[in-house]
């Protein structure tokens, strides 16, 4: 004898939620099946018919029909379970935290979750769980710029920012610095080009073909770059670059922002500057070369040119660097807009 269907009344709001659950691509399958059971029941299907469409057992169909009848949509959720009693004692949790926050012995610098687990005598997954709960990440290191010990930090910083924000009339503000030891690396095998589903590939083995240093000056209010490649970063080469700036920017006072590298303060440089009233040097505070905007451009250069580059010789690298400078000036040069709000770091 065929079993009679039992009509389950479902409100419009409940039906909308059930349909959403049934069509969801993110919900786990068990929740989708439970929603389908109630929808089919509301349409008057028998238990056998529902079993045939959902592939669930009679016991499961009856269970979710009764749960929905008693508790509505909430009845389709998993009931809370008592679970097993915790097997990790508070002492062991504290020991995991203590080890993660201390320097390991035996010549190690950093802890791994596996070694913490071995020391404490629990599983690595439990160590991961404890560290996640306490938001501890011993595998990660972040770098930040500490407080400058320069007693004149504020005065120097204000002077440099003042040049950025409100430069003097008939003056050019130039950020000058050197990017040294740029390696002309060649690979032992030809490059494998980019193709769908596979990135460009380089061999891990390489050949060094010398190094190049780049001296660059960023004109803060136009974004234009003046650059020169040299074999090494010396006082002589720095002086030659200053003379290049002297010839490039005629009839203007040049405010030069540089860091505290010894060659920038060399006696030969100081002697030459005494005869050049158009030059005004501004040194960034100690540990504060980030105030020098040309560092931003060096970061762009690294991403656009140096990373993943292949050169057969240092002269080929030098040529490409200068070509990039010319292209940058012709197509992209513009003043940088700083987004730092001035809010102090919370330490």
* Confidence category of residue 347, pLDDT binned at 50, 70, 90: very low
- Cα dist from 126 to 92, 94, 100, whole Å: 10, 13, 13
What letter would DSSP give residue 97? H
Tell me if 230 sits within 8 A of 321, measured CB to CB. no
Q: How far apart are CA 27 and CA 287, in angstroms?
A: 52
* Domain 153-331 belongs in CATH node 3.40.50.2000: no
Q: What is the pLDDT of residue 57?
A: 92
Q: What is the pLDDT of residue 308?
A: 85
How much is the mean pLDDT over the chain? Answer: 88
- Cα dist from 333 to 33, 219, 231, whole Å: 60, 10, 26
Q: What is the pLDDT of residue 86?
A: 62
Tell me if 281 sits within 8 A of 146, measured CB to CB. no
135-139, 181-185, 254-258, 269-273: segment of lowest average pLDDT = 135-139
Residue with tokens 């050197």: 178
Q: How far apart are CA 210 and CA 71, in angstroms?
A: 76
* Confidence category of residue 341, pLDDT binned at 50, 70, 90: low
| CA-closest candidate to residue 283, choices 301, 300, 259 | 259
Q: Report percent pLDDT > 70 for the chain.
A: 92
| Tally of CA atoms within 13 A in the half-sphere of 19 that contains its CB | 9
pTM, to two decimals? 0.64
Q: What is the pLDDT of residue 300?
A: 95
Q: How far apart are CA 194 and CA 208, in angstroms?
A: 24
Tokens at 143, concatenated? 């770098």
* Confidence category of residue 118, pLDDT binned at 50, 70, 90: very high
Q: What is the pLDDT of residue 2?
A: 47
Q: How far apart are CA 318 and CA 87, in angstroms?
A: 63
Pairing of strands 171-187, 225-230: unpaired
Across 218-236, average pLDDT: 95
pLDDT tens per residue, range 36-87: 998 888 888 888 988 999 899 999 999 999 888 888 888 888 877 766 666 7
Across 102-120, average pLDDT: 90
């Amino acid at each position: 004898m065929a079993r009679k269907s039992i009509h389950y009344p479902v409100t419009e709001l409940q039906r909308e939620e059930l349909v959403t659950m049934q069509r969801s691509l993110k919900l786990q399958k068990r929740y989708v099946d439970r929603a389908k059971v109630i929808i089919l029941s509301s349409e008057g299907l028998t238990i056998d018919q529902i079993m045939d469409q959902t592939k669930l057992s009679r016991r499961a169909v009856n269970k979710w029909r009764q749960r929905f009848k008693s508790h509505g949509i909430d009845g389709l959720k998993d009931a809370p379970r008592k679970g097993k009693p915790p097997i990790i004692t508070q002492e062991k949790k504290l020991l995991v935290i203590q080890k993660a926050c201390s320097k390991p012995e035996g010549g190690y610098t950093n802890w791994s979750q596996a070694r913490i687990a071995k020391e404490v005598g629990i599983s690595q997954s439990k160590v991961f769980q404890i560290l996640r709960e306490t938001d501890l990440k011993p595998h990660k290191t972040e770098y930040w710029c500490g407080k400058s010990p320069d007693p004149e930090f504020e005065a120097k910083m204000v002077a440099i920012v003042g040049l950025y924000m409100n430069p003097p009339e008939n003056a050019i503000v130039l950020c000058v610095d050197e990017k040294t030891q740029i390696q002309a690396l060649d690979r032992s095998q030809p490059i494998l080009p980019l193709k769908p589903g596979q990135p460009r590939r380089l061999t891990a083995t390489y050949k060094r073909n010398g190094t190049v240093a780049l001296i660059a000056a960023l004109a803060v209010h136009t974004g234009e770059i003046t650059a020169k490649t040299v074999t090494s970063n010396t006082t002589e080469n720095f002086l030659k670059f200053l003379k290049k700036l002297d010839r490039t920017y005629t009839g203007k006072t040049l405010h030069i922002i540089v860091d505290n590298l010894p060659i920038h303060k060399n006696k030969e440089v100081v002697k030459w500057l005494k005869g050049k009233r158009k030059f005004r040097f501004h040194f960034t505070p100690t540990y504060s070369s980030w105030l020098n905007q040309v560092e931003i451009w060096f970061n762009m250069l690294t991403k656009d040119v140096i990373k993943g580059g292949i050169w057969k010789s240092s002269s080929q690298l030098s040529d490409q660097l200068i070509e990039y400078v010319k292209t940058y000036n012709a197509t992209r040069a513009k003043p940088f807009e700083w987004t730092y709000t001035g809010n102090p770091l919370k330490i």
